[in-house]
Structure 1
Amino acid sequence: MPQLRFNITSVGTYQVPVIVGAVVGGCSAINAMAFPRGQRDDYDRWEELGGGEGGENGWGWKGMWRYFLKASRFKEPNPALVKQFGIRYDKKYWGSENGTSVWASWANFQWPATKILYEAWKEIPGIEYPDDNGQGESGPQWFPSSVDPATITRSYSNTAHYQPHKSRTNYHLITEHKVSRINFATADGKKPKAESITFVSRETGERRTVFARKEVILAAGAVHSPQILQRSGVGPRKLLEEAGIELVKELPGVGMNFQDHTSLNLGYNFTTQPFPNLDALATNATYQAEVDETWNKTRVGPYSAWGNTASHALVSFPVISPDNYQDLANQIENQDPAAYFPPETHPTVIAGYKVHLRVLAKGMRSKNTGWIQIANAPSGNAALTNSHPLSRGTIMLNTSDPECEPVVDYRAMTNPLDIKIFVEMIRLMRRYILADGIIKQLSPVWYNPPLEMTTDEEIGDWAKRTDVLLPTVYHAIGTCSKMPLEWGGVVSEDLRVHGVEGLSVVDASIIPSLVGATTSQSVYAVAEKAADLIKARG
């Protein structure tokens, strides 16, 4: 649905559509509705990268816990499916069924082959199964979707946070407009203070300005929040000078530290599949008619579970590569932090990345950092995702036309260790799919990357091909990172923008480091914590 997206294409080696929702609800209106939580290590890294006092009031696992619960309401899975498939869950890790938060519910259907794929992980040394995805541990796991269990429709920020409250007299939503800039009041000897915003009609180009009584809160997402700051005079000095924009506050980190999960598809078929299966849905007219009738009458069956019928595993590097993970971690830790950044990168950004390398090396040594995300389709093939890429991209305004869409450069695979990481991941998947165990019931036939590719160089060259690697799975974060100023940070632990007053950022752009999961649940939790921080200011 192109009308629901902004028209952006990335630049650089990997040129792909940058999918950002242009609709009430933003990206939550167009995502795949997967609703997993990351691992404890992921959120503790947020704290290590600048999380304030820590503990229950910090940005680590302990501090975020209550916001995970608050961010969703939970519907338990069908008991028959729990028994049939061995679905592991524990409702203590989730919110209640009350309130108006986003739903975390379970599909009412699974393909029989999915159970085999989950069971097959037991044959990989070191694999452990957590009791629940919400427990914050790595391993093969089931997780809910953001779907309303009563209507089997998308549950997202529009249905959860706008529709129930739109009648409030202090709640005004203006659609078909874009924010152009934040306006600052400046006085000698004082920090610039955000006092208003200017927004523009997407249809007529008419400009209007709204003034803030207390503060301006920016939530335009990881793609547009840095651009708005830059257009407003907050960002890298050289960039703003080239664009002819008056500098309000030099913040070199605005638009830097851009991260997204990188992914590729592995090719193999399961030539013996238990019935029913996806192939039958495509080729068996009788079965297809039964599925259609069931869906139309009861809203159950394969269509009710679309997007969440794969088997999922979040695997740590000690399991991925027990022989090589220590060496890779050492290479990360000892890497020159400036080596793979553009030469003009500000020293504070480099200093921050040095800290990233240290905490990611620690994560590579941990059994509880799910470095690889695997979505294994019950008919064959898998999406293989690097949860913690080392490469860093940029999102900058277009200096020739600051009002047009930003320049997005994923810079995927610019750090060569990302290639080595994918090589180890592919080797793990070959061991898993071609094992002499339960998975043989599916008669797998592997074809991509070809088994004739055996060396690290051959597999790595295949993985980085532009027709193989996806530089994004639409989980953009980091462009207004919650980190100290001396580490290239943009906001402090209370989400106020460094060096100015009256301005906060409260979206995915503040997340300093990716989680081993899709990002939607984490972003909702960030927003809930942001709300408490803002209310506490009075």
Structure 2
Amino acid sequence: MNKNNDAAEFDYVIVGAGSAGCVLANRLSADGKYSVLLLEAGPKDTNIWIHVPLGYGKLFKEKSVNWMYQTEPEPGLNGRQVFQPRGKVLGGSSSINGLLYVRGQHEDYDRWRQRGNAGWGYDDVLPYFRKAEDQQRGGDKYHGAGGPLPVSDWRHHDPLSEAFVHAAAEVGIPTNPDFNGATQEGAGFFQTTTRRGRRASTARSYLRPALTRSNLHVETSALAQRVLFDGKRASGVAYRQNGQLRTAKARKEVLVSSGAYNSPQLLQLSGVGPADLLKQHGIEVVLDAPGVGNDLQDHMQVRIVTRCAQTVTLNDVINHPVRRVMAGLRYAALRKGPLTIAAGTSGAFFKTSPRLASPDIQIHFLPFSTDKMGEKLHPFSGFTASVCQLRPESRGSLKIRSADPSVPPEIRINYLATEIDRRAFIDGIRILRKILAAPALKSYSVGEVDPGAKVVSDDDLLDFCRRTGSTVYHPTSTCRIGNDALAVVDQRLKVRGVEGLRVVDASVMPDLMSGNTNAPTIMIAEKASDMILEDAR
């Protein structure tokens, strides 16, 4: 492509083949009317661990498919830097994530609408969740069947994960068979974006079926340098591939789907962002947009590790040579067993206070334990349950450090910056401890390893959060939707103040929704596809 460096022309140029970009590529090229170029900075999704659900642990620090970002020292976490893995491969973070399919609460989307974002209420977005979905249990009022994205129940019987659900019921948290149905509250098993024990990234579920179309072009190892402008109109994208600078022109629109870190980074590199920051790096200002990179939010988690009385944990499988080989063979033959474990088997959503309208805490339960995610499992039998605050108040920022697109941006999240955030974790840990001490888990639990029985007071619990808290990998809101001065895109995801440019990914969320971000990002891209095609007509 681009022989003699002639600029190739397409109707749409999409930057980023992640959870959103692959959806756009499929939907915009479907009727054959428009030519579409999809640019991805990373490689093809050929790494074998991408396709094995438990493989996410192996991709945690795998530079070839992961941007491996770090935050700046976080004041609320004792000045620690927090590791931020992000997908750099076809499928983006949907190729390396923990596979959980969680949409959030109905109230999240109604809150977006009440903030003046018409068309983004729960009733507006539900049809797009259903359109995307191929629900293993079949379609109903809340779920779709026959869509591109497989959503499945877990293929492994695990007594520990079941015991967690029973223990939650014993302390008054009702059992909920469907976190994405009528209500989120309760305890139960997570569904995952898998089919027959294999990961269903958007590269696999959306992009692969579209690759035979002659009007869809995909370029990997293509790092966008900047969006090109003709006055105030986006006219194309400059990207670097195999050491060469190339140009792709967009007849209709440039669609930035590079995620909550790379989308604002690309806009800033292209002259759309806070004017002072751009001038500091010698970048010509196309639009002074102070909101670009503002309002960053992320979910934080704090993990409790319990020593297990029985050898039923994944630690016992992985640390035993024969059991480890048997698990591998079982997966190879049947696509079942411990290798199908996602980043949460069972879990719960509950309120830390009765005055709250909906749950503010999510628990991820895992039948294994480790000091840090992506590192070696403990030599003893252990299991983990983590507390995640669903709607943090804390907000941070993303800024370029350099005019060079290959230099990682400066990421500040400001975890635990507000009293509400700090309180939610202290109260959330106390409720989780009640669940872990309930009769259903008695026969499994030897005692708490981390933080340990001595950590009881509010101050000690908060100190534990500051020492050990880490991300749940859900950055959002750096190019958010809205009508105010700091909003970056309008309700149709068009960048305000310029023409021919949209942002479509988790960065447009006005704030964090109450759950994992992959399913909502796919929904956003489904909805955006319809709006883009409508506007083209």
1:394 aligned onto 2:397: yes
Shift of 1:18: 2.5
1:473-484 correspondence runs (5 A): 473-484=472-483
- Is the 1:107–1:308 contact (alpha carbons within 8 Å) kept by the matching residues of 2? no
Counterpart selection for 2:234 from 194, 202, 214: 194
Deviation sequence 1:108-133 (CA, Å, 0-9, x none): 212112222101111224x2333412
CA gap of 1:102–1:480, structure 2 versus 1, over 3 A, is same
Gaps of 5+ in 1: 53-57, 77-88, 187-191, 327-364
Gaps of 5+ in 2: 1-61, 75-79, 369-381
CA gap of 1:28–1:289, structure 2 versus 1, over 3 A, is closer
Cα distance between partner residues in 2 of 1:419 and 1:521: 27
- Is the 2:361–2:424 contact (alpha carbons within 8 Å) kept by the matching residues of 1? no
CA gap of 1:111–1:145, structure 2 versus 1, over 3 A, is same
Give me the identity figure in percent: 30
1:108 aligned onto 2:155: yes
Q: Which amino acid aligns with 2:351?
A: S
Counterpart selection for 1:71 from 111, 118, 132: 132
Shift of 1:444: 4.2
Q: Which amino acid aligns with 2:390?
A: S
1:267 aligned onto 2:305: yes
1:521 aligned onto 2:515: no
| Partner residue in 2 for 1:361 | none
| Partner residue in 1 for 2:445 | 443
Cα distance between partner residues in 1 of 2:257 and 2:447: 46
Deviation sequence 1:209-240 (CA, Å, 0-9, x none): 22221121111111111011111111112111
1:212 aligned onto 2:250: yes
Cα distance between partner residues in 1 of 2:217 and 2:129: 27
2:252 is paired with a residue of what secondary structure? coil
Cα distance between partner residues in 2 of 1:309 and 1:241: 44
CA gap of 1:515–1:309, structure 2 versus 1, over 3 A, is closer
- Is the 1:373–1:516 contact (alpha carbons within 8 Å) kept by the matching residues of 2? no
Q: Which amino acid aligns with 1:397?
A: I
Shift of 1:164: 1.0
CA gap of 1:398–1:431, structure 2 versus 1, over 3 A, is same
- Is the 2:69–2:408 contact (alpha carbons within 8 Å) kept by the matching residues of 1? yes
- Is the 1:492–1:498 contact (alpha carbons within 8 Å) kept by the matching residues of 2? yes
Counterpart selection for 1:497 from 473, 495, 498: 495
| Partner residue in 2 for 1:180 | 225
Q: Which amino acid aligns with 2:348?
A: A
| Partner residue in 2 for 1:314 | 349
| Partner residue in 1 for 2:469 | 469
2:107 is paired with a residue of what secondary structure? helix
Query: Which TM-score applies when normalising by structure 1?
Result: 0.79
- Is the 1:93–1:132 contact (alpha carbons within 8 Å) kept by the matching residues of 2? no
Cα distance between partner residues in 2 of 1:182 and 1:528: 23
| Partner residue in 2 for 1:81 | none
Deviation sequence 1:406-432 (CA, Å, 0-9, x none): 111222223343222211111112222
| Partner residue in 2 for 1:170 | 215
| Partner residue in 2 for 1:3 | 64
Cα distance between partner residues in 2 of 1:373 and 1:47: 27
1:245-264 correspondence runs (5 A): 245-264=283-302
1:428 aligned onto 2:464: no
- Is the 2:330–2:337 contact (alpha carbons within 8 Å) kept by the matching residues of 1? yes
Cα distance between partner residues in 2 of 1:209 and 1:517: 38
Greater shift, 369-378 or 110-119, is seen at: 369-378
Instruction: Output the aligned Cα RMSD.
Output: 2.3
- Is the 2:347–2:362 contact (alpha carbons within 8 Å) kept by the matching residues of 1? no
CA gap of 1:45–1:129, structure 2 versus 1, over 3 A, is farther
Shift of 1:141: 2.5
Shift of 1:91: 5.3
1:215 is paired with a residue of what secondary structure? strand
Cα distance between partner residues in 2 of 1:16 and 1:398: 18
| Partner residue in 2 for 1:147 | 194
Counterpart selection for 2:201 from 156, 161, 165: 156
Counterpart selection for 2:180 from 134, 141, 155: 134
Query: Which TM-score applies when normalising by structure 2?
Result: 0.80
1:21 aligned onto 2:21: no
1:512 aligned onto 2:510: yes
Q: Which amino acid aligns with 1:423?
A: I
| Partner residue in 1 for 2:27 | none
Cα distance between partner residues in 2 of 1:512 and 1:184: 26
Shift of 1:458: 1.8
1:51 aligned onto 2:117: yes
Cα distance between partner residues in 1 of 2:167 and 2:110: 30
Q: Which amino acid aligns with 1:36?
A: V
